[in-house]
Structure 1
Amino acid sequence: MPLTGFTTNAEELTLTITAEFPVPVKRLWDAYMDPRQLEKFWGPPTYPATFTRHDAFPGGLSTYVMTGPEGDTHGGYWEWLTLDAPHSFSYLDGFLTPDGQRNTDLPTTRNTFTFEATASGSRLREVSHFNSAEELEQLVAMGMEEGTREAMGQIDDVVADLKSFAAERGTQPQLIGDTQLRVSRIIRGSAEQVWRAHVEADLMTRWMLGPDGWTMPVCEPAAEVGDTYRYEWENDDATQRFGFTGEVLEAEAPYRLVTTERMLSLAGMPEGSDSSATTQNEMTLTPVESGTLLTTLITYPDAKTREEVLATGMVDGMELSYARLESAVLP
């Protein structure tokens, strides 16, 4: 077990957890930055977590839901305060109601994680600051120590897995709930470079093309809240054309961009295209050791629409575009 300390201090209203791991600090740090890895150990084995948002930057927000063996769900959130990669980060930690709102009936804590190198790998130290002795006692009574030990016991397997989350894996889809899809890909470039490649037309038209044989004659990006974008693609013999439009809902350069997306009705659209469905796309960029982790959470109107879109080969087309981004745009 990696957990080496679990200490409460009633006078300082703190709970301190220490754990040691046989991996470098950066490997352990990345496990907390990557929602795909984090959700494999954040909850105990009987209550695995699914992160629906993970903004690892000051001012960002993370949300997750832990699902129990009987199907019961328990939500939580992090409100990010500070981040000094790969040394420390802090956030406000709270609970969510069943409808996804902040639960004001349960306590919030201020948590600080620090990471330091050791002779055998790395050490993690988490200090939770409580508002009162009653809140500290309440969370300890809820089984926090047992849950922490079970959760921490899963980290070794995650950080030892160098294949599942490697950049060479390419674009990876993950179904979340009934209507969401999370697509993840490590891009070999900085967050600033990847952001520019998604919001500057002269860069986008060089890589955002999907399969060979298509061009992007219309590229009108948007990166300010309330602005609209329009993209159109056309095949080489001009027999097929399709496009998308939408509005920017959130923008936090160079880390987060949230937009709506609706397919345009254009002459010569590929067979099977559906112009009626509107999705919400949440793109998050997170610096990791091998580049930038790009995650896009797509929310569809229903499960049927998600299935139909996946059947078009969307993920394969995204991988072709991202590979072109690395080879043709990024240094």
Structure 2
Amino acid sequence: MITQTEVTKDLPNKKLTVVRGFAAPIEKVWRAWTEADILDKWWAPRPYRAETRELNFTEGGLWRYAMVGPEGVGNYCEGTFGSIKQGRSFSYSVKFTDADWNEDTSFPVMNFLIEFESAEGGTNVTTTLTFDEEADLQRILELGFAEGFTMAHGNLDELLAEVV
């Protein structure tokens, strides 16, 4: 099991791969990635918090959420789910929006594929993000994606140590 978040950039293919292991069975880790009440406890890097406004975890369903900062100001995102293979993987595309869920085209769209695999001592999760342009990938990195996602993984680690 991989115990630290590993981020690999593949600029020519406009792809980021993030791998992290968690000391919990797939069922528990899957729930943490797919249920709003659990997602909101770990998704945002501190001192931010996630607030799910809508989650319809079905193919074609939406996840609308805000990343709310310490001053109470939200950054909004809307994800649309693609393929869902129960307990194994799911995909979704995320766009940044305003508070009324209108797309903010000044930010790139991120395409996620989340894969879960049993490992000795827990579950490995591989997150693959793809982008339309290399510049989009660079922009997300400049905004602190790798650091923020690593912090969120730490939040999830702590949460999974509790009863979820």
TM-score range, shorter chain: over 0.9
For residues 1-331 of structure 1, the aligned pairs below 5 Å read: 2-162=3-163, 165=164
* Residue correspondences, number: 163
State the one-letter code of the partner of 1:105: S
Rounded to whole Å, the distance in 2 between the matches of 1:102 and 1:134 is 19
Whether the 8 Å contact between 1:2 and 1:152 is mirrored in structure 2 is no
Deviation at 1:160, TM superposition (A): 2.5
Deviations 1:222-276 (A, max 9, x none): xxxxxxxxxxxxxxxxxxxxxxxxxxxxxxxxxxxxxxxxxxxxxxxxxxxxxxx
Q: Structure 2 regions of 5+ residues with no counterpart? A: none
Specify whether residues 78 and 51 from structure 1 end up closer, same or farther in structure 2 by C-alpha distance, changes over 3 A only: same
Deviation at 1:2, TM superposition (A): 4.3
State the one-letter code of the partner of 1:91: Y
Structure with bigger RCO (C-alpha 8 Å, 6+ apart)? 2
Deviation at 1:157, TM superposition (A): 2.2
Secondary structure at the aligned position of 2:77 is classed as: strand
Rounded to whole Å, the distance in 2 between the matches of 1:17 and 1:42 is 15
Deviation at 1:158, TM superposition (A): 1.8
Which has the higher Rg, Structure 1 or Structure 2?
Answer: 1
Rounded to whole Å, the distance in 2 between the matches of 1:2 and 1:79 is 29
Specify whether residues 53 and 3 from structure 1 end up closer, same or farther in structure 2 by C-alpha distance, changes over 3 A only: farther
Deviation at 1:4, TM superposition (A): 3.1
Whether the 8 Å contact between 2:42 and 2:155 is mirrored in structure 1 is yes
Deviations 1:22-59 (A, max 9, x none): 11111100111110110111111111000011111101
Structure 1 segments of 4+ aligned residues over 6 angstroms from their partners:
none
Whether the 8 Å contact between 1:20 and 1:121 is mirrored in structure 2 is yes
Secondary structure at the aligned position of 2:41 is classed as: coil
Q: Structure 1 regions of 5+ residues with no counterpart? A: 166-331
Rounded to whole Å, the distance in 2 between the matches of 1:75 and 1:97 is 6
Deviation at 1:110, TM superposition (A): 1.1
State the one-letter code of the partner of 1:38: L
Identical aligned residues as a percent: 26
Rounded to whole Å, the distance in 1 between the matches of 2:42 and 2:78 is 16
Rounded to whole Å, the distance in 2 between the matches of 1:73 and 1:3 is 29
Secondary structure at the aligned position of 1:39 is classed as: helix
Rounded to whole Å, the distance in 1 between the matches of 2:24 and 2:114 is 17
Secondary structure at the aligned position of 1:125 is classed as: strand
State the one-letter code of the partner of 1:150: M
Whether the 8 Å contact between 2:64 and 2:78 is mirrored in structure 1 is yes
Secondary structure at the aligned position of 1:29 is classed as: helix
TM-score, scaled relative to structure 1: 0.48
